[in-house]
A and B are shown apart, each in its own frame.
Chain A
Amino acid sequence: MSTGELPPTSGAGGAASAPLHEPASIHGDDGGAAGADHSGEGVWRRAWRTLRRNPVAIAGFVIVAAFVIVAVLAPLIAPYGPHELPGRTDVRPTYIPGPSAEYWLGVDRYGGDVFSKLIWGARASLLVGVVSTLFGLTGGMLIGLLAGWFGRWVDFAAMRLVDLMLSVPSLLLAVSIAAVAGQSQMAVIVAIGVVQVPIFARLLRGSMLAQRGQDYVLAASALGLTRRSVTMSHVLPNSVGPVIVQATLTLATAVIEAAALSFLGLGGGEPSTAEWGRMLTAAQQELAVAPRLAILPGLCIAITALGFTLVGESLREALDPRNRTRR
């Protein structure tokens, strides 16, 4: 779907695209014509160029970059360590100190510095997001590839498994898996990753099937390429676009789902752990006293998810063949 920054004109089909078609000279196409400014540009490079000009994508990239920098440089930026509770002594049952020169965003119920915890939380989110997405991506690609490669009963079996996994709403599936995997951060990562597996598998398989029917694949096999090289050098490279878009969007989902699992008490660790979902959960008790304790981590989750979503959606748009102008 378009995210709206494209002028509506580009979508108008039919007559609109007619004048921009086929620059045939009077002598037909004599092999020379066509003055594309960016000649010799592959699909990915072209998408990159589109992205660079898209303000929505830039906003997304800025958010994602900021998030990654904060997460990576957390030890340098954060005034306190992830487990430190410097304000412990200041907290009273009826009073939680707000923002001050010492604690920029105040402290929480346990006496942790909220600012530091948010920074360390970015690190936890990045870890969960990236690892679980990689997990889902690898698993899904493997299943999708096997299904698309062997076809027949392997495909049938793989797709029934995928149907099965998709028949359980995602959060329930994640909860069930986390229950089996035990109380640890790794369990959360695995749970979120497994939930993504069927989505990636189905996406890749569908996309490969669509490519299979294209004439160029037929042409490649008619050229005498083996099945393996047709799949590896034509079908797969043309099928990964949607998968990469999905992976970007999954990074957003993973951050949100990780918070949801923490909220449900999965993932183990102390309630004072420097993790956005955990902070949000803990803040529930303090809603009337210190709403900032809920709002701040919530905003962090939302903004991070927004960043990945913006990048993913713009990428989808940039890769959409319908938006590619034929010259």
Chain B
Amino acid sequence: MSDEKNTMNEQRPAAGSGAAEAGAPETGVAKTGADDVVLRIEDLAVDFRTEGGAARAVRDANLVVRRGETVAIVGESGSGKTTLAMAVLGLLASNGSVAEGHIWFQGEDLGEAGPQHLARLRGTELGLVPQDPMTNLDPVMRIGRQIDEGLIDNGLRTRRDARARTVELLDEVGLPDAGRRASQYPHEFSGGMRQRALIAMGLSGRPALLVADEPTSALDVTVQRGILDQLSDLTHELGTAVLLITHDLGLAAERADKVVVMYRGEIVEQGPARDVLRNPRHEYTRRLMASAPSLASRRIEIARKRGLDDVLDRTLLAHEDGAADRGAAPLVSVRDVSKVFRIRGQGLLGRGKDFTAVDGVSLDIPRGSTVAVVGESGSGKSTLARMILDIETPTTGTIHFDGRPAGGSTQAERIAYRRRVQPVFQDPYSSLDPMYSVFRAIEEPLRAHRFGDPEARRARVEELAEQVALGKGLLRRFPSELSGGQRQRVAIARALALKPELVVCDEAVSALDVVVQAQILRLLAGLQEELGLTYLFITHDLAVVRQIADRVLVMQNGMLVEEGTVDEVFDSPRTEYTRTLLDAIPGKDLELAL
């Protein structure tokens, strides 16, 4: 992990990316020689055979990637962006096939090339940096060998000097102590280190085109930027064209020369990054721009600077600063709370080790406000939330809720406490019981707390469904029949059923696509206004926080490192760590249409 921090801190201000070169002529437009084109996709359609017949995942796709150019494909999950990229590499899942159109790679039609020729191109002319570093390395093979084998099989190096080259490549992507690291296994690497190894792998054949499929979205935010910088530096140096797949429009605009927006299998808009950002033509692009937290954060920044209050009103979801009554006693007050977990030792006699997840944290949550706790994985933010929810008990310290100790000593007290404090969890796929219909899920808390007769409960469930904008027709559905956003609405309705005072949102929007994410955030803001709720918002994403929170707390390694109002923290962060987190939000130098 510490390796990551080092590279992350030495950030190059403008890493040779599109946004930084905004003044230079459009790379794509200026040079038009046909030789320059690395990849040309013409009228491409990709089908998947499914039980219900063929499903078209990509249709009428046209795009061009030139030498040394970075083209970003932006879209939500299911938009076909990854499918498009995999079609280029010839790595579609076994039930997928190119149904129509052509993929020209360096003047050659890959559709005609045949699988063996394509296999030869992969690892030499075509490279891939996959999405999830946790699943993309073979767990039982040493890292070095996983790179060697590509070099050897592609005839780039002999068996003898492959290893030296591998170490060189690992060194090149900023992996410290590459020689030793090469003989380690993936499970001995951190996520960031794995991703660096995967980048080394993708670039090992010095490809003309590198497909980078969400290369950093599975990593902690502070690591993301360092790795993206390294990637853009290297590809720039080597003149590699990059097809960057991402869901983050801000990131795409910052890193790419050209942005391609995909929606439901179709390319709805493409053009130079600046043009798309300044003047989005398609409705979906506009929607995406309005939703992306990174861009919203940037927009708030610009609007503040220029004093554009109407823009602020539109973007900010929290109420005005200090709206929450300052003088009144806070709803929740946490004092010097620590949580120590005992990790079981190995074997029969192995001694357990202590792990301090939360270390001496104090905080107040004013009634009616939104307090956000931000931190990376392992920072202790979720443990803190669980202690406030009374799912975990603090090892030391106290938590008071409305003047009284949180939770309770008897089961009756605990149950009474739970009526007032409710959670909304991250993963909308696992937070609902798959055997419960939507109606039953929302009704459950009412039944558990003996709320009225069945008729009254039905009325209340319907009222709740309406509050979270969930169609009545959905009430008899089961979770597996709902989209992620719909599930999260159900989870919110269920949390609100008992009219709680505090709602703890643990990464409640992180698993959702940006457009849906923005809707849920708006919903939460609206409900706060309507019902006078207090929110504790746990997230790893600072950009989201700017839109919705009143106060921000930053946690690192179990400790609180920064606290303040949103503006204080964003405008004048006091610690280096917070600054790193802020820098990690993509698009901080972008010019946006307001």
Contacts and interface: CB of A to CB of B under 8 A. Distances in A.
19 contacts: A8-B94, A9-B95, A12-B95, A18-B57, A18-B77, A19-B57, A24-B513, A26-B263, A26-B283, A28-B515, A29-B483, A29-B484, A31-B470, A31-B489, A42-B437, A215-B425, A219-B425, A222-B418, A224-B416
B434 to A, nearest CB: 6
A15 B473 contact: no
A164 interface: no
A224 B478 contact: no
Determine which residue in B57, B78, B429, B470 has the highest number of CB atoms from chain A within 10 A of its CB, and name it. B78
Contact of B78 (A20, A32, A33): A20
Interface stretch (B44-52, B112-120, B174-182, B398-406): B44-52
A218 B386 CA distance: 10
Interface string B70-109: 0000001110101100100000111110000000000000
A19 B486 contact: no
A183 B571 CA distance: 86
Interface stretch (A134-142, A143-151, A266-274, A319-327): A319-327
Interface in A33-48: 33-34, 36, 39-43, 46
A22 interface: yes
Interface stretch (B7-15, B142-150, B308-316, B443-451): B443-451
Given A9-B48, A15-B86, A19-B57, A39 B431 contact: no
B435 A24 contact: no
Interface in A1-29: 7-10, 12-16, 18-24, 26-29
A13 to B, nearest CB: 7
A7 B417 CA distance: 51
Contacts of A224: 414-419, 445, 448-449, 498
A221 interface: yes
A43 B415 CA distance: 30
A7 B49 contact: yes
Given A10-B51, A39-B473, A224-B449, 6 more contacts: A15-B82, A40-B476, A42-B435, A215-B427, A221-B391, A327-B481
Nearest to A225: B448
Interface string A145-180: 000000000000000000000000000000000000
B445 A22 contact: no
A238 B434 contact: yes
A28 B516 contact: yes
A13 B80 CA distance: 14
B485 A16 contact: no
A288 interface: no
A223 interface: yes
A238 B423 CA distance: 22
A21 B466 CA distance: 25
A271 B480 CA distance: 55
Nearest to A12: B93
A46 B95 CA distance: 24
Given A14-B93, A222-B389, A26 B287 contact: yes
B346 interface: no
A18 B56 CA distance: 11
A229 B57 CA distance: 44
A43 B76 CA distance: 28
A164 B38 CA distance: 65
B284 interface: yes
Given A13-B93, A21-B78, A31 B55 contact: no
A95 interface: no
Interface string B469-495: 111011011101111111001010010
B379 interface: no
B519 A216 contact: no
Contact of B448 (A12, A214, A229): A229
Contact of A219 (B78, B449, B474, B494): B494
B202 interface: no
Nearest to B49: A9
Nearest to A222: B423
B341 to A, nearest CB: 15
A26 B519 CA distance: 12
B430 interface: yes
Contacts of B56: 19
A224 B470 CA distance: 24
Nearest to A13: B93
Interface in B202-223: none
B78 A19 contact: yes
B526 to A, nearest CB: 14
A30 B474 CA distance: 11
Contacts of B86: 15
B226 interface: no
Interface string B431-473: 1111101000000110011000000000000000000011101
Determine which residue in A34, A223, A326 has the highest number of CB atoms from chain B within 10 A of its CB, and name it. A223
Interface residues of B, number: 75
B96 to A, nearest CB: 6
A212 interface: no
A223 to B, nearest CB: 4
A139 B513 CA distance: 47
Contacts of B94: 8-9, 12, 16
Given A9-B94, A220-B433, A237-B435, A42 B478 contact: yes
Nearest to B515: A28
B267 to A, nearest CB: 15
B96 A16 contact: yes
Given A31-B469, A36-B481, A237-B435, A326 B283 contact: no
B512 to A, nearest CB: 9
A24 B516 contact: yes
A284 interface: no
Contacts of A13: 93
Interface string A302-327: 00000000000000000001001111
B85 to A, nearest CB: 9
B391 A222 contact: yes
Interface in B499-522: 513, 515-516, 518-519
Given A216-B431, A224-B419, A22 B48 contact: no
Contacts of B519: 28-29
Contact of B51 (A9, A24, A43): A9
Contacts of B434: 43, 216, 238, 321
Contact of B474 (A23, A31, A214): A31
A216 B432 contact: yes
Contacts of A9: 48-51, 94-95
A181 to B, nearest CB: 36
Given A9-B50, A222-B418, A224-B418, A31 B471 contact: yes
Contact of B481 (A10, A34, A215): A34
A40 B419 CA distance: 29
A88 interface: no
Given A19-B80, A327-B481, A223 B486 contact: no
B422 interface: yes
A50 to B, nearest CB: 10
A184 interface: no
A285 interface: no
Determine which residue in A18, A39, A214 has the highest number of CB atoms from chain B within 10 A of its CB, and name it. A18
Given A18-B77, A40-B477, A219 B48 contact: no
B330 interface: no
